């Protein structure tokens, strides 16, 4: 029990000291600032006072429907006119872009081994979870759209030879474009 009383007394003393220290700061933050200090802080600009006479309120009442809610006026604005629409025309032009020139003839198998070494450190069964699979790092849709599904669902489940077969089909259509970084690194067209 004496320990509890000692703790209560310490908390009371601490609270009183805290209030004594913080009270002057709180009083200063609430104190009003003299007018000459306020004017020194504000930029020198002409003041414009807008005074509405009772007549102008009556004109507002006639212009729109005036509603009151909790003693405050709200003016329902008249509907805005719909702007005239301007005729819009669009011309679609197709711009021919050259397709990459595929390398003539079949690509030597060693090129695919070099490409796989660059893409996946030569691991034909790699699946790191980055969305690219196998030694040549096919993404799922490219693998399937080029016929890879006949061998395996994902490229990393197919053999080296099956991956090269799909890569050659892809290469016939797009060259080495699907492997941009390694294409440049290896100096491929």
Q: Which fold has domain 117-186?
A: Lysozyme (1.10.530)
The share of the chain scoring above pLDDT 90, in percent, equals: 39
Rounded mean pLDDT of the chain? 76
Q: Where are the domains of the chain?
A: 117-186
pLDDT in tens, 25-58: 666 666 666 666 656 655 555 555 555 555 444 4
The string of DSSP codes covering 20-70 is: HHHHHHHHHHHSPPPHHHHHHHS-----------HHHHHHHHHHSEEEEET
Dihedrals phi, psi of 6, to nearest 5 degrees: -65, -40
Task: Tell me the whole-structure pTM to 2 decimals.
Answer: 0.44
Q: Tell me, what's the pLDDT at 115?
A: 93
């Amino acid at each position: 029990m004496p320990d509890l009383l000692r703790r209560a007394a310490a908390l009371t003393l601490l609270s009183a000291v805290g209030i004594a220290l913080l009270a002057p700061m709180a009083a200063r933050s609430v104190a009003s600032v003299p007018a000459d200090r306020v004017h020194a802080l504000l930029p020198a600009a002409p003041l414009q006072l807008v005074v509405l006479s009772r007549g102008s309120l009556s004109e507002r009442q006639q212009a729109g429907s005036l509603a009151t809610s909790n003693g405050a006026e709200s003016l329902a604005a008249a509907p805005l006119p719909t702007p005239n629409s301007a005729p819009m025309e669009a011309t679609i032009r197709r711009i021919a872009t050259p397709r990459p020139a595929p390398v003539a003839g079949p690509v030597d198998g060693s090129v695919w081994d070099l490409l796989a070494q660059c893409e996946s450190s030569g691991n034909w069964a790699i699946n790191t979870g980055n969305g690219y699979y196998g030694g040549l790092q096919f993404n799922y849709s490219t693998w399937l759209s080029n016929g890879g599904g006949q061998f395996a669902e994902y490229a990393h489940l197919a053999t080296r030879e099956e991956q090269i077969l799909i890569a050659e089909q892809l290469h016939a259509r797009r060259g080495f474009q699907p492997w941009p970084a390694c294409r440049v690194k290896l100096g491929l067209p």
